[in-house]
Amino acid sequence: MAKEETYRGKTLEELQKMSLEEFAQLVESRARRALLRAYRNNPEYMKLIKKVRKWKEQGKTDKKMIKTRLRSAVIIPEWVGLTFGVHNGKEYKPVKITISMLGRRLGEFSHTTAPVKHSGPGVGATRSSKFVPLK
């Protein structure tokens, strides 16, 4: 028997029935502050929430990813199971939302830096490369 995933002792169904203010009481203080402030004062965050609700009504959520540049958005229970395209400064990285991601930021799952892969020097980088044939 598989163990059902929970967040702070609540199942996904219980979490999805909660209002945003009730969910905010479950998350850590920094996320709670961000959620409550965004709910009251941030039109971009509310626009994203409305966009997600509209996509869910239309049934588009399983076909496409929801693109956003709002990396500071706190993940809420109604987004579980959706795929977001989170902008990392260059491209939109797909992020599949799970119950363990609740209360964290979208930007935490779309890294802005990649590991540096060094190779040999390019043409003109050193004095000796002047004599390397291009072909």
Q: Domain of residue 72: give its range.
A: 6-111
Q: Give residue-wise pLDDT tens across range 8-25.
A: 889 989 999 999 889 999
Q: Give residue-wise pLDDT tens across range 100-128.
A: 999 999 999 999 998 888 777 666 677 76
- Cβ-contact 103, 27 below 8 angstroms: yes
118 in any annotated domain? no
Q: Give residue-wise pLDDT tens across range 56-94.
A: 888 877 778 899 999 999 999 999 999 999 999 999 999
Nearest to 9 by CA among 81, 99, 104, 75: 99
**How far is C-alpha 20 from the chain's CA centre?**
18
126 in any annotated domain? no
pLDDT tier, 134 (very low <50, low <70, confident <90, very high otherwise): low
- Count of domains for the chain: 1
Q: How far apart are CA 65 and CA 5, in angstroms?
A: 23
User: pTM of this prediction?
Assistant: 0.81
Q: How far apart are CA 101 and CA 95, in angstroms?
A: 10
68 in any annotated domain? yes
105 in any annotated domain? yes
Q: Domain of 96: which CATH number?
A: 3.30.860.10
Q: Give residue-wise pLDDT tens across range 22-54.
A: 999 999 999 999 988 887 888 898 899 999 999
Beta bridge pairs of residue 74 = 105
58 in any annotated domain? yes
124 in any annotated domain? no
